[in-house]
Amino acid sequence: MASSFSQQVLLGFHAVRARLRTEASSIQSVLIDRDRQDARLKALTVELQAAGCSVSLESGRQLDRLAKGQRHQGVLALADYREPSLRYDDLLDGQGFMVFLDGVTDPHNLGAVLRTAEASGARAVVAPKDHSAPLNEVAVRVSAGASETLPYMQVTNLVRAIEQAQDKGYWALAFADEAGHSFYDQNLADQPHLLIFGSEDKGIRRLVREQADALVSLPMMGSVSSLNVSVACGVACYETLRQRQVKRVNAG
């Protein structure tokens, strides 16, 4: 499926360097804060110019305007926006695990989830098209480059997407604070699975809960009753990675 393009603003070193690494030709222009010529910024400028990117020195006020008040670290790129080239069905043909988000609308949380999911080896992050955080400038910046390599796929019907994955052998684990089963008791090394997280205020919707194969929770030993969704996702992703690495070591 061909990608379609429109303009996107990339904020900060990680986002700009990630696009430079994956598809430098999609970068239309790069704006550098003329008052912040430190060594790190100069090194990035050299990389950009070597790749043939148009680089201009601008005022910090101009970068602030284009960044709409978001943190840009003195560097901002205007680039072609790339929609996912994969279809959802393509993701289901592989093994591994995926992260599903149900009602997570904060782009900071989305960016943090993308960063952790990519680092731990997830195949994709999936969310419904409605009532979900967009992959905007904030999410891209917080993802620290992960949004360039890890698919963020928004589907029409999340319950149906879970069902399709289950038909392909995926085990759907939905996180709920009141669940009686600990996530740490799950066998994550042998079977492809979905890690499903809801919003912090409402949790996972009823239909999503009913579609899941199991409701699980993370142990809470202190006085707080829940974790931020991106933190919970990080714990779950790295427990998956840990179990799979242990299995590989034992098999070897």
Q: What is the CATH number of the domain that holds 46?
A: 3.30.1330.30
Closest CA to 104 of 205, 35, 173: 205
Q: How far apart are CA 83 and CA 201, in angstroms?
A: 29
Q: Which residue has the tokens 């684990």?
A: 173
Range with the poorest average pLDDT among 57-66, 166-175, 221-230, 231-240: 221-230
128 and 43 in one domain? no
Q: How confident is the model over 3-7, as a mean pLDDT? A: 54
Domain boundary among 33, 53, 82: 82
228 and 110 in one domain? yes
CA distances from 8 to 19, 24, 80, 197 (A): 11, 14, 6, 27
209 and 159 in one domain? yes
65 and 116 in one domain? no
Q: Which residue has the tokens 């990035």?
A: 44
| Terminal Cα-to-Cα distance of the chain (whole angstroms) | 39
Tokens of 12: 């900060």
Domain limits for position 22: 5-82
Predicted TM-score (pTM) of the model is 0.78
Range with the poorest average pLDDT among 66-70, 72-76, 88-92: 66-70
